[in-house]
Chains A and B, each alone.
Chain A
Amino acid sequence: TQLLEQSPQFLSIQEGENLTVYCNSSSVFSSLQWYRQEPGEGPVLLVTVVTGGEVKKLKRLTFQFGDARKDSSLHITAAQPGDTGLYLCAGAAGNNNDMRFGAGTRLTVKP
C-alpha cells in the first residue's frame, strides 16, 4: 500500500482544457511537495505546501493542501503541450525523515 495515493494514474487531454490531479493519504504530513519529471531526467520541485488549507499559485498551476494536511491537489488551467510530464507528490509523514513519493500522474497534453 502506497503512503501517498495519486489519481488519476494517466490523463490525456487536449490543449486548452483544465485538469486536476490528486494526492491522498491516511497520514498527516507537515508539508507536501509536488515535483514534475520529464523523460530521462530527475524530478524537479514545483511547490511545497506547508499550512493546512494553503493555496499556492504558480502561473497556470494551482496547488492546495487539505485542511487536515492529509491530501493535496494540483489544478492546471488551460493546459499546454509543455505541461506534459509525470507529476509526483512527495512528503514525510509525521515526524519521519524518509521522504516518500506517490506513484505519479502521467499527463499528456495534445496540441
Chain B
Amino acid sequence: NAGVTQTPKFRILKIGQSMTLQCTQDMNHNYMYWYRQDPGMGLKLIYYSVGAGITDKGEVPNGYNVSRSTTEDFPLRLELAAPSQTSVYFCASSYLTVNTEAFFGQGTRLTVV
C-alpha cells in the first residue's frame, strides 16, 4: 500500500521563487494536514482539510496556500519563497475524525537560499 506520498523529497529554491509540494493518499481519508518541522523541533500545523473543497488555516499559514479539489490530493503552494520557509514539510491524513491515527508521508526537505 502506498499510503501518503509526498513529492519532491528534496528541493532547493531561490528567494522569491514559487513551488508546489504535492501530497496524495490512497486510503480514502477525509482529513489531511500539512506540517512543517524545523530542526530539532516538533511539528507546526500550516493548513488542514476535513474533506474535499474545505480547507482551514493552522498555526503558521502565512506564506502558504492549499487546495483540496479531490479526496486524494492536498497540494501546498509557496508563492514567494523566503529563507524562513526552509524546513521539512510533512503531509498527513487520517480517517473519519481528527482523533484517529494520522499517517505521514516521508517528508519534503526544502531549502530556500
Contact = CB atoms under 8 A, between A and B. Distances in A.
B104 A43 contact: yes
Q: How large is the interface on B (under 10, 10 to 19, 20 to 34, 35 or more residues)?
A: 20 to 34
B101 A45 contact: yes
B42 A101 contact: yes
A42 B48 contact: no
Contacts of A6: 42
Interface string B44-86: 1100101000001011000000000000000000000000000
B101 to A, nearest CB: 5
Nearest to A47: B101
Contacts of A41: 106-107
A43 B106 CA distance: 9
A30 B99 CA distance: 8
B10 to A, nearest CB: 11
Given A42-B92, A100-B45, A104-B42, A48 B98 contact: no
B13 interface: no
A42 B30 CA distance: 19
Contacts, number: 70
Nearest to A89: B42
Interface string A78-111: 0000000010101110001111111110100000
B102 A96 contact: no
Contact of A42 (B41, B56, B58, B107): B107
A97 B33 CA distance: 10
B43 A97 contact: no
B33 A103 contact: no
Contact of B59 (A30, A44, A92, A100): A100
A72 interface: no
Contacts of B35: 101
Interface of B: 4, 31, 33, 35, 40-45, 48, 50, 56, 58-59, 90, 92, 94, 97-102, 104-107
Interface of A: 6, 30-31, 33, 35, 40-45, 48, 50, 86, 88, 90-92, 96-104, 106
